[in-house]
Structure 1
Amino acid sequence: MRNLLFILTLILGSLVACTSSIKDKQTDSFRAYLDFSDRADQFEGGIRMIPIQTPSGEFNVWTKRVGNNPKMKVLLLHGGPGMTHELYSCFDGFFPAEGIEYIYYDQLGSYYSDQPEDQSLWTIERFVDEVEQVRIALDMDADNFYLFGQSWGGILAMEYALKHQDKLKGLVISNMMASLDAYEKYAKEVLGPQMPAEVFAEIMEIEEKEDFDNPRYEELLLEHHYQYHVLRMPLAEWPEAVMRSLKHVNPNVYVFMQGHSEFGITAGASLKGWDRREDLKSISVPTLVIGAGHDTMDPAHMEWMAGEVQKGRYLFCPDGSHLSQYDDQQVFFKGLIKFIKDVDQGRI
């Protein structure tokens, strides 16, 4: 009996020691993740203004790093164009617990970065060059660099991959189709008719007259479109961070590149006719495409995109819309985190 008690005591002691060791390692890991002591951006808690060289001179763009992970660094490309990083505040609720480093970033022209008025700067090619300069400044490479782009940021992410995929470890295209003509067709032929017929007819009439300053246009969109396809919540319940980003949008960049319409790209806007459907097959880096059941973008098209790239995976958020990081949050983050870790472990 004494021998049995002695053996049980030894086993229990070993289990306690093992558990303690695991907790110590976890504590050390999170301490390292949160440690700013050897970082140049410690002074402002991860914030850094990065100088960008452009054909019109040097400007600064705002970034903020969260966490330290030499293997998993995610640069977040916001939509718009001309929106802000604030759309991704909810990433704070998920990525730190997984030890994933991520970088908030306001593109040139957006609220926290410099806002030059030179319209020659608002081209896809120059934005791609800007992202590359940010990557270099933040010392990211194919061993750790994941690029996440949503909406317009998804266009920018695709364009960056087509030019610089040798610098990428993983690519995420969220809530963005590979053709703006296909997007316009989906908006007008599928989403628009879901509204009451008289409402959609009035919206189309305003668009045909280019009467976009008419307050009725925004009123109709807010009531019948935005809270069903942009963010599936009553407007009064939209997250504060989203409202802040909308307040901070730069209309000069948005209108020049996208135009006024919410059912396509306005004639004369610089993104008009953008189409990369035929080029997707050349993307060989592991790629996650995220679509949503109630998105402004066609989820079937985005599933097709995942099959076109060489190492694609599709994440479908059935209850989500264009900002599915909020309205189908658990599905969105579970799938996104799994993709990042699967790429890191060589499983895709």
Structure 2
Amino acid sequence: MKIFYYSALCFLFFCVSCNKAIEPVKADVSTTPYFDTTGRDDIVTGGIKMIPITTPKGTFNVWTKRVGNNPKIKVLLLHGGPGITHEIFECFDSFFPQAGIEYYYYDQLGSYYSDQPEDKSLWDLDRFVEEVEQVRIALNLNKDNFYLYGQSWGGILGMQYALKYQDHLKGLIISNMVPSIPDYQKYSDEVLAPQLPPEVLKEILSYEEKEDYANPRYLDLIVQHYYTKHVIRMPVNSWPEPVSRSFKHLNTDVYVTMQGPSEFGIKGDATLKNWDVKDRLKEIEVPTLSIGAHYDTMDPNQMGWLAKEVQNGRFLFCPQGSHLSQFDDQEVFFSGLIDFIKDVDQGNPIQAGS
């Protein structure tokens, strides 16, 4: 779930011109309902709505943005980090609208476009679950239309939400997140770390031992040898602009409190360090898609196991993907994700071979 200490990484890295008037493009009759804003209260803002969230420390506002209109399919996107932003999902714009899927960008409390209180007691998993529930209610999402998509840390949040509030869900998507942080750490230590060149691993671990996590050399080693193989499989200077922008907007207070300062696992006194719901997955009844990738920081085999543990699950494997497989294995990622949503909507079987 290493997304990501980018404020320290910044040192690395509809307009058309024409000579004649352009006729407005008319929407196809079949897609017209998707763009219908009748009765919406977010037309002036282009779908953006600030939602007040009640917390033990007062009321704060979180940022959401609706795209499209489909009464039967509404997907709320939970970003990773913690403390990253919705910007990591902007490539969804290239796929969801043409599939007729209504979806909601959402910056969790503490993230860039939402309020950013400084009280660290707010960076608590159970409180975030209650925040998602308040967002659901404000957006009028319900069991007849509500799909919850969570990636990385968002996957933790999605699983925890489903274990308490799955009666409100129509479908659940867990992307690039295993159900156990200790297992994630073990996979990082025993499988991914040994794949690094020995001299690189030795140097990374030397900085880890000294807890010198902000050292530019440490960060450069992590980005060049770890991120480009397991987080997003592209050269740093080719990373999609929304990825760089989202990393730039990271709230490090949220990130370090819950995830810890290391870029090579979850260490120190991070609040998520011992999180594990493997034994509770059988409680999840709602149709569930688990997305894993061959080069991910998360064990894809465990993502496949997760799909079998829930009562009605499907596994989507991205053979060329990593932690951000929505960017580096797009065709497989989006075709499988959209197929799952459509199958749930149409009442088709979810389990492979059923």
TM-score scaled by length of structure 2:
0.90
Find the counterpart in structure 1 of residue 262 from structure 2.
261
Given residue 85 of structure 1, which amino acid in structure 2 is its aligned partner? H
Are the aligned partners of 1:181 and 1:264 in contact in 2 as well (CA < 8 Å)? no
**Structure 1 or 2: larger helix share?**
1
Find the counterpart in structure 2 of residue 189 from structure 1.
190
Find the counterpart in structure 2 of residue 124 from structure 1.
125
Hey, what's the Cα distance between the residues in 2 that align with 1:85 and 1:195? 31
For 2:211, what is the secondary structure of its paired residue? coil
For 2:28, what is the secondary structure of its paired residue? helix
CA shift for structure 1 position 104:
0.2
For 1:136, what is the secondary structure of its paired residue? helix
Find the counterpart in structure 2 of residue 4 from structure 1.
none
Q: Does residue 298 in structure 1 map to residue 271 in structure 2? A: no
CA shift for structure 1 position 205:
1.7
Find the counterpart in structure 2 of residue 82 from structure 1.
83
Find the counterpart in structure 2 of residue 10 from structure 1.
none
For 2:291, what is the secondary structure of its paired residue? strand
CA shift for structure 1 position 29:
3.6
Q: Does residue 207 in structure 1 map to residue 208 in structure 2? A: yes
Hey, what's the Cα distance between the residues in 1 that align with 2:340 and 2:129? 24
Hey, what's the Cα distance between the residues in 1 that align with 2:264 and 2:207? 12
For 2:44, what is the secondary structure of its paired residue? helix
Given residue 193 of structure 2, which amino acid in structure 1 is its aligned partner? G
Hey, what's the Cα distance between the residues in 1 that align with 2:57 and 2:37? 34
CA shift for structure 1 position 276:
0.6
CA shift for structure 1 position 37:
3.8
Are the aligned partners of 1:64 and 1:105 in contact in 2 as well (CA < 8 Å)? yes
Find the counterpart in structure 2 of residue 319 from structure 1.
320
CA shift for structure 1 position 154:
0.2
Deviations 1:81-123 (A, max 9, x none): 0000000000000000010000000000000000000011000
Unaligned runs of 5+ in 1: 1-25
Find the counterpart in structure 2 of residue 3 from structure 1.
none
Find the counterpart in structure 1 of residue 237 from structure 2.
236
Unaligned runs of 5+ in 2: 1-26
Find the counterpart in structure 2 of residue 135 from structure 1.
136
Q: Relative contact order (C-alpha < 8 Å, sep 6+): which is higher?
A: 2
Hey, what's the Cα distance between the residues in 2 that align with 1:262 and 1:280? 28
Find the counterpart in structure 2 of residue 346 from structure 1.
347
CA shift for structure 1 position 36:
2.1
**Bigger radius of gyration among the two:** 1
Mapping of 1:27-106 within 5 angstroms?
27-106=28-107
For 2:308, what is the secondary structure of its paired residue? helix
Hey, what's the Cα distance between the residues in 2 that align with 1:75 and 1:51? 17
Hey, what's the Cα distance between the residues in 2 that align with 1:319 and 1:123? 34
Find the counterpart in structure 1 of residue 110 from structure 2.
109
For 1:127, what is the secondary structure of its paired residue? helix
For 2:273, what is the secondary structure of its paired residue? coil
Hey, what's the Cα distance between the residues in 2 that align with 1:311 and 1:263? 33
Deviations 1:266-295 (A, max 9, x none): 221111110011010110000000000000
Hey, what's the Cα distance between the residues in 1 that align with 2:95 and 2:117? 34
Hey, what's the Cα distance between the residues in 1 that align with 2:277 and 2:125? 13
For 2:245, what is the secondary structure of its paired residue? helix
Hey, what's the Cα distance between the residues in 1 that align with 2:283 and 2:44? 42
CA shift for structure 1 position 214:
1.4
Q: Does residue 248 in structure 1 map to residue 249 in structure 2? A: yes
For 1:301, what is the secondary structure of its paired residue? helix
Hey, what's the Cα distance between the residues in 2 that align with 1:38 and 1:161? 30
Hey, what's the Cα distance between the residues in 2 that align with 1:66 and 1:29? 17
Find the counterpart in structure 2 of residue 22 from structure 1.
none
Deviations 1:296-323 (A, max 9, x none): 1000011011110000000000000000
Are the aligned partners of 1:78 and 1:150 in contact in 2 as well (CA < 8 Å)? yes
Are the aligned partners of 1:36 and 1:45 in contact in 2 as well (CA < 8 Å)? no
Hey, what's the Cα distance between the residues in 1 that align with 2:57 and 2:138? 20
TM-score scaled by length of structure 1:
0.92
